[in-house]
Amino acid sequence: MKIKLSPELSYLIGFWRKRKTYEGLGILGSTDLQEIFIKEALDKKIITTDKIIQDDKKAFFHHTAYKKFFLEVEYDQLERFKYLNEYAANYLAGLFDSVAEVDEKGRIVVIKSNQQDEMLLIRLGFGALRTKGKLIVGKPIAFLTFIKKYVKRHKDHKIFEYVSGKKKGAKKDVAPKNEKN
């Protein structure tokens, strides 16, 4: 079975990466996180509902080809997601939904981060500062603008109102001028 990376699969890999289970292919976390993971896996037709193993702490399934592929993408993430495209946006949106939060100062903090995460953000131009196992994104508005179409778990967070210019005092999005072909 030859598996190809797609933007949608990139989201699932980003979501899985920091919460992976040791058995099978799955995540550790609350039921809302498990639901997102299972829904995405079912939507991509990776599994069927009868193959899911779930309890209050984890949800996983067995699929050796996909597990091997996920591990390869994780290993090669700096090469696979080096451009500002839909693949990188989905991957970072999955990572954001899985282990990131917006603190009271409006900073984006990625929990359980490592040097690869820091390097990926720096290479993509978002900047990053790692302190005490957490990663603070250097350009949060640019980062959120990049991933906002692909975020699933935090899509209703109030910070996205500022990004899209709906809040009073926020900059409004400027539509590009139509060019003649």
Q: Where along the chain do its domains lie? A: 7-77, 99-164
Calpha distance 38→48 (Å, rounded): 10
Radius of gyration of the chain (CA): 17
pLDDT, position 176: 42
Check whether 178 has a pLDDT greater than 70: no
Q: Could you report the per-residue pLDDT of 12-67, keeping only the tens digit for each?
A: 999 999 999 999 999 999 999 999 999 999 999 999 999 999 999 999 999 999 99
Q: What is the pLDDT of residue 54?
A: 94
| pLDDT tens digits, 121-161 | 999 999 999 888 799 999 999 999 999 999 998 888 788 88
Cα-to-chain-centroid distance, residue 146: 11
- Once rounded to an integer, what is the mean pLDDT over residues 102-125? 92
Model pTM above 0.85: yes
How far apart CA 111 and CA 35 sit, in angstroms, is 20
Calpha distance 164→143 (Å, rounded): 13
- Burial class (CB within 10 angstroms; exposed 0-12, middle 13-18, buried 19+) of 172: exposed
User: How confident is the model over 63-103, as pLDDT tens digits?
Assistant: 999 999 999 999 999 999 999 999 999 999 999 999 999 88
pLDDT higher than threshold 90 for residue 177: no
Q: Angle of helix 31-43 relative to helix 7-17, nearest 10 degrees? A: 150
